[in-house]
Amino acid sequence: MANTILITGASTGIGRATAELFAERGWNVVATMRTPENGAELAQLDNVLVERLDVTDAASIASAVAAAVDRFGSIDVLVNNAGYGAYGPLEATSSESIERQFNTNVTGLLEVTKAVLPVMRAQRSGAIVNISSVGGKITLPLGTLYHGTKWAVEGMSEALSFELAPLGIRVKIVEPGAIATDFDGRSFDFSNDESIAEYQPLVQGVLGAVESFFANASPASLVAEVIHEAATDESEQIRYIAGEDAKQMIAAREAHGDLAFMEMMRQQLGLSAPQG
């Protein structure tokens, strides 16, 4: 009997590539997304079930999990992939944007995990793969919200691994670098208020850096392969880095320490030194 994987945010990018990879390798795939019509091609595959799931909608989460179990009998791997990045000066960011960012990237991840856990607990087996980011280890200016959510994912995942390990459930973290998806487009939400002149040099510097950051991005298929490794290797390893740029940045942070790394980032972005 084939194993079953449930993936959030599977309409495009990393989620779509992961759904296609696991389906090709004989898994049952539950590809969930806010707009199921975007998964029409996936739905044509015999071993793929496309379901609506909005991580901020509890009813849709419960419905998708129930449909997965009804169709395939189990959920062996959960990939919490749905998310987006909110950037911009905090002072120029609305309370609604703050709430939406954390509801999607943090609370939504927790709610989907909670909904799947009874299934895995009954099985006494399973793997939860949470998609973090190199941005869960290092930060860029104006990323207060996005990096806050990804650092949260890192901590939540590590803590959760302690309570689930005795139940036979493994928790994994995948940390991609720049990936050639629409993250710098549809999934990139930038807030700014040009009337606050003090922030505008930083805004222009960061927007320029984002463009160059994605210039040599890795394909989403690379992350899908790392997710497959994390989901199937049955090791105690908890973190998996995806992309050479992510490996280099994380290694630099660990080698140089906080202050030296942050100064290096300032220099690369052409930012002025801190006032003092």
- Which positions are annotated as active-site residues? 132, 146, 150
What is the C-alpha separation between 263 and 271, in angstroms, rounded?
9
Structure tokens belonging to residue 234: 């049955």
Residues pairing with 179 in the sheet: 218
Categorise residue 35: left if φ over 0, alpha if ψ from -120 to 50, beta otherwise: beta
Amino acid identity, position 96: E
The H or E element containing residue 136 is none
What residue has token string 């062996």? Answer: 76
Strands 77-80 and 85-87 come out as unpaired
| C-alpha dist (Å) from residue 149 to 132, 196, 221, 267 | 9, 25, 24, 25
What is the C-alpha separation between 36 and 180, in angstroms, rounded?
22
